[in-house]
A and B are shown apart, each in its own frame.
Chain A
Amino acid sequence: MEEIAHTMRQDLQGAGKYLAFWLGKEEFAVPVGRIREIIPWQEITPVPQAAGYVLGVINLRGKVVPVMDLRLRLGMPFQERGVRACIVVMQPDTKRARSPIGVVVDGVSEVLQIQPSEVEETASLANGWMQMGYVNQIAKSKGKVKLLLEIDGVLAGPMEDAVDLQTPELAGCGKG
């Protein structure tokens, strides 16, 4: 608990421990304070009539936990699951949802420390034309790029979606 609390405090200052994971060739990072546990791949029961990126539900020690495909959630193309795919159980902290959510990623890479000095805002990087759904910050760590995922936005309930996932927000890009 102490450690998590510590991480959270650091989080507020913009620095702290992050869990990094892969989606295709992109490496994302999420504050460890949001991570409950990482579990191996298991069979997921589909839920009829649920949003497309909701893969279904699993039994996590007696609790029914929904699982989403992060690729689809971010509007990336569907890809068959690889051998390193696993489910990262995250803890949202939004008005609508507080119970854990499983997030399928292509593989977990490492836990790392990111300093505020290593982070840049995507908005300032390209003067605004490079607008991304859920990545507002990019960090460079040991010569590699980590995309800091806006996890609360991602975990916001399916109903709350303001962003239409079928058409990634690249408006203005073509005209520029």
Chain B
Amino acid sequence: MRQEAQLLRLLEAILGSVFSPAAANETQAGTRRLELIQHFEETEACARQLEMGGTAEAARHLVALLEPEDGGEEREATLQDQVEQLHTLAEQELEARLAAAAPPAPAGPGMPWGDFVLEAREHLANIEQELLRLENSPEDTEAVHALFRSFHTIKGLAAIAGVETAREVAHHTENLLDEVRSGARAVSSALIDLALSSADFLGEVVAAAEQLDQGEEAAIPDDAGALLEQLYAATHSMPLPLSDDLPAAPPPRAAGPAAKSTRAGGRSAVKVDTAKLDQLVDLVGELVIAQSLVQLDPALAALGDPKTAKNLNQLGRITTELQKTAMSLRVVPIGQTFQRMARVFRDLVRESGKQAVLETAGEDAELDRTIVEQLADPLMHMVRNAVDHGLELPADREAAGKPIEGRIRLSALHQSGHVVIAVSDDGRGLDQARILRKAVERGLVKEQAQLSPAEILDLIFEPGFSTSEQVTAISGRGVGMDVVKQEIEKLRGRVEVRSEPGKGTTFLLRVPLTLAIIDALVVKHGANRFILPLFTVREILKPRGQEINTVEGRHEVALLRDRIVPVLRMETLLGESASGRATEDSVLVVVEAGPRRVALAVDEVIGKQEVVIKSLGDWMGRVRGVAGGAILGDGSVGIILDLDGLMGREGYGLAA
């Protein structure tokens, strides 16, 4: 099966190169020619191995065609023609081959689904992006070509994997696009809808295949009856069920950076298993520790040899560099998530009867892959909210003197070790009076409570709060902003909301770039060291006697600049028996724990350091108050404390 897949890849590369815009200059044209020759030669070899004589022959002709260095315009046309022929031929032969091959491996467990999943997924992402692009600019022939190729490749992949229904869906969609490509059919929103439905179905197939690949139980969906009927009807010149004269509402546009081609120009990439990446990062982490052990070795220092010292420094520099590079491997741009939002947005706007455009900015901002993945749900929820609650209906907008078309903006921005993602709309804004009324109704605040505007807005993040008076199909799913807040906090991020009545609402999500490394404060208690995420630390101080007060002889509170802060001793946290030493002899680290502050009494503050967060292993599960472990410079483990988790929701929970 490898050979077949290889052949498909080659054909795809060839199509991409032949039908892409003409090369800008001679050097590029030359490179393209040589590349094509190479592709054709490989295709020929590949086809020979597969005993596909016709394809091999066609490929050889193409090599001959490109042999002369200068061919001019005319050759370009011949080339395109012949490539199309090569393609059709290869397809026929490949299909015949697959049909002749022993019974098409029934789609079932045990199949090597990995390749199928990996490749098909990539093409599906591409398809969605290109379809949305095509909807914006129906004349974009490049998008049509790209779509055609992607569906085509998926068709091939599905055939190889033996998923018949998926192959058929891809096949008919491809035919449909072929008609567009040849000018026999115009781009319409009905066509885009249909292609999106196909992509959705194929997405389901890929999802099921992925489960199978991971050894889980799953059934590959094979019922696409309705979809196939629609596709069939469409390709057989019957008017599409949804005709082009849709209601006056123009399709929502995703006004992204349309001018900028999203194609990765000139960058080459390799696909790597994430498990391997994680292993690499782990190993580099070990290397960093081993290196620091060597560097700090007193025996080596005692040598006093300048050459050794220099070499050690060199080793240190390289190690740091290596660690940075390894960490950067796990990073992906946020753009792909925005892309997914564009799709959701499109469907939402359709359903809601509103008119809106989606703008995106800062797609290049890079974040740890895990964070990007976990951001998708909260973001989707917020886009949903913005469309459903934020934007007014067209009539209301007109009455308010605003442009009928609403604007929703998704943007990302790097900011000192964090990425700030903003979701804004230019809708009606949050109604403070209504929020307050609702909060009082729900018993979240007292009626006479004096709250600042910001505090009122923050109420929407309270559990069980939902401002929508009408439950709609879109947002009324029982998930509120409190869930969004929790999700973001899990990523060690924060959510903020800003709103101006009549002008719109902006949600700001601040998330760290990576979950793997944090800036930390290392503290000492007894023989052990503990780690506090630096962003939670508010101040460090040596308490004076009068600042510490006991409560019922058991607890302690500190009075720090007119603020009462509970004192938590490390031994209480560890469940050790009281040391009996006075709190005044400790150092207090004031830490923000959710809405509260707590002063952690430790023996000593060692200093600030970057640490790599490691899980304590699945066996430990989630220990309340512990965010993980980190390996310190001397090879010992430091526990990363999560005081927010400890004090956060269920109150103290500590035995006194």
Contacts and interface: CB of A to CB of B under 8 A. Distances in A.
Contact of B616 (A61, A66, A155): A66
Interface stretch (B21-29, B422-430, B628-636): B628-636
B623 A43 contact: no
B518 to A, nearest CB: 15
Contact of B574 (A46, A64, A157): A46
A45 B636 contact: yes
Given A62-B289, A65-B617, A46 B637 contact: no
Nearest to A94: B619
A57 B629 contact: yes
Interface string B113-156: 00000000000000000000000000000000000000000000
A63 B639 CA distance: 13
Contact of A57 (B621, B637, B646): B637
Interface string A92-127: 100011111100000000000000000000000000
B639 A48 contact: yes
Contact of B573 (A49, A65, A99, A101): A49
Contacts of A58: 637
A57 B116 CA distance: 40
B622 to A, nearest CB: 9
A100 B617 CA distance: 8
Contacts, number: 93
Interface in B366-387: none
B625 interface: yes
A47 interface: yes
Contacts of A159: 621
A174 to B, nearest CB: 31
Nearest to B632: A59
Nearest to B289: A62
B636 A59 contact: yes
Interface string B522-542: 000001110000000000000
B596 interface: no
Contacts of B282: 62-63
Contact of B631 (A59, A66, A101): A59
Interface in A138-176: 155, 157-159
A48 B619 contact: no
A92 B617 CA distance: 11
Nearest to A44: B637
Contacts of A83: none
Given A45-B639, A49-B625, A64-B631, A101 B619 contact: yes
A97 B636 CA distance: 23
Given A45-B629, A49-B624, A49-B625, A97 B617 contact: yes
Given A45-B637, A57-B629, A62-B285, A101 B574 contact: no
B618 A97 contact: yes
Nearest to B527: A43
A50 interface: yes
Q: Give the contact-size bracket for chain A.
A: 20 to 34
Given A43-B636, A49-B573, A158 B617 contact: no
A158 B620 contact: yes
Contacts of A65: 617
A45 to B, nearest CB: 4
A88 interface: no
B454 interface: no
Interface in B281-308: 282-283, 285-286, 289
Specify which of B282, B575, B635, B637 lies most central, judged by the most chain A CB atoms within 10 Å of its CB.
B637
Given A59-B636, A158-B620, A45 B626 contact: no
Specify which of A46, A58, A59, A92 lies most central, judged by the most chain B CB atoms within 10 Å of its CB.
A59
Contacts of B639: 45-48, 57
A158 B614 contact: no
Contact of A97 (B619, B623, B624, B625): B619
Contacts of A47: 616, 620, 623, 626, 639
30 contacts: A45-B529, A45-B629, A45-B637, A47-B616, A47-B626, A48-B641, A49-B623, A49-B624, A49-B625, A49-B626, A50-B626, A54-B620, A56-B637, A57-B629, A57-B637, A59-B631, A62-B282, A62-B286, A62-B631, A64-B617, A64-B631, A96-B618, A96-B619, A101-B619, A157-B618, A157-B619, A157-B621, A158-B620, A158-B621, A159-B621
Interface of A: 43, 45-50, 54, 56-59, 61-66, 92, 96-101, 155, 157-159
Given A45-B639, A62-B289, A157-B618, 12 more contacts: A45-B529, A48-B641, A49-B626, A57-B616, A62-B282, A62-B286, A63-B282, A63-B614, A66-B620, A99-B617, A157-B619, A157-B621
Of all A-B residue pairs in the complex, the 4 with the closest CB atoms, nearest first, are A62-B286, A97-B619, A64-B629, A99-B617
